[in-house]
Structure 1
């Protein structure tokens, strides 16, 4: 295996943001006279905002006004700044992790930067942060993962992606990368692991201890980093 690269999704993997995002969508849609539930938003996890708006319209018939799309970010930003937490166990995991790593997210760069800063994760990735805004197609297309690997000089076959959504898993598999599903976020649900495996995940892990064991077993890290 050539130089391994570990690619992390952001929302729901590094940071426990998906419940906050669902609340933001629900509030903003209600503000504009449309009722949606957090369950509807949950079906859009892993997609970029423009695709989420389209998907909600398909599921509910509610067409969100184009002129008001900034309202979604404003509401989400407030919740992130006030309430966002890292996923349980990620900070000690990152402190011990060696080797190349990056973030590849469907969120905007502004949202990714705020999320990583608020949770104390930003320094673990430096400039190695990528958004689907940088590529033509969002997840489940492989574009963002291939883009990240190219930027960091890694081969897809030597890269592993950690994702919490079927869309992300599908994108990783399409990129020719190993896909590990993560179900340790507070938005996880019964059957989450099975859904990720059905999308192509090579394994599904409920904690960062399980993730490190998978990475070690598959040769992406020399040995499982000791957490404290």
Structure 2
């Protein structure tokens, strides 16, 4: 008999359609400090934790955000999310029919994850099973967060199914030795998105939750 699987969900771009809003928040926060970056720069940072995003933006553009004002990012993001954040299409129905253990493992802060899931009414599906990159030493693409979540919930890596929208997240799950499904159903998806996830190591890539639900049924998961 096959072992029970743990479904591990990324949050941004998987559970909630937040990536375009987060990009807008970074652009606005940087502009508020007299700095200019474009949303295409933020697209290069999807899946990273905030400290790594600052570093990556500096590497790509030479623009340095003042460390003393790092909280600006969350303040602007929170306001934008409160006004505009929506769940990804079909996720509510998917979770309502998922009769398997599940958790969230996200590069975002716990505060941001909770805010996002509360706004979109998804929190009841994950209470007590939320993990942030702030809980581990290394963020994605390192495997630390996924391994930490699996260990805390008592699952071996090979018994975990990770659903990710970013190449960094896919790389992290592959490094953790888990089954990885790529997800391109968010508003930030581009024509090259699926190929990028496959190149990062995703076993399969799905454009929406109905397709993942069908895959789960077909595989008895």
State the Cα deviation string for residues 126-169 of structure 1 (Å, max 9, x = none): 11000010001000000010011011111100101000000000
1:157-168 alignment runs, 5 A limit: 157-168=158-169
Q: Deviations over 1:18-68 (max 9, x none)?
A: 011000000111111111111100110000000000000000000110001
Q: Distance in 2 between matches of 1:99 and 1:179?
A: 16
TM-score, with structure 2 as normaliser: 0.98
Instruction: Find the residue that maps to 1:29 and give its secondary structure.
Output: helix
- Give the C-alpha shift of residue 216 in structure 1: 3.2
Residue 154 of structure 1 pairs with residue 155 of structure 2: yes
1:91 aligns with 2:84: no
Is residue 2:171 matched to residue 1:170? yes
SS of the counterpart of 2:177? coil
Aligned to 1:225: none
The correspondence of residues 28-47 of structure 1 with structure 2, limited to 5 A, is: 28-47=29-48
The alignment partner of 2:15 has SS state of coil
Q: CA RMSD, aligned part only? A: 0.8
- Correspondence for 1:68: 69
Contact 1:2 1:155 in 2 (8 A): no
2:18 alignment partner in structure 1: 17
Please give the residue correspondences for 1:119-138 in structure 2 after superposition, counting only pairs within 5 Å: 119-138=120-139
Q: Counterpart of 1:102?
A: 103
SS in 2 for 1:74: helix
Paired with 2:153 and 2:167, the residues of 1 have a C-alpha distance of 25
Show structure 1 runs of 4+ deviating over 2 A.
213-219
Cα contact 1:2–1:154 (8 A) shared by 2: no
Gaps of 5+ in 1: 222-228
Matching residue of 2:181: 180
Residues 218 and 169 (structure 1), Cα distance of their counterparts in 2 relative to 1, 3 Å cut:
farther
Matched residues, number: 220
Tell me which residue corresponds to 1:7: 8
Shift of 1:82: 1.2
Aligned to 2:117: 116
Report the Cα distance in structure 2 between the residues aligned to 1:8 and 1:213, rounded to whole angstroms. 17
User: In structure 1, the residue corresponding to 2:74 is in which secondary structure?
Assistant: helix
Question: Separation in 2 of the partners of 1:188 and 1:44?
Answer: 14
In the alignment, the residues of structure 2 paired with residue 94 and residue 107 of structure 1 have an alpha-carbon distance, to the nearest angstrom, of 21
Secondary structure, counterpart of 1:10 in structure 2: coil
For each residue in 1:178-219, what CA deviation from the matched residue of structure 2 results, as whole angstroms up to 9, or x when unmatched? 010000001000110000000000010000011122333444
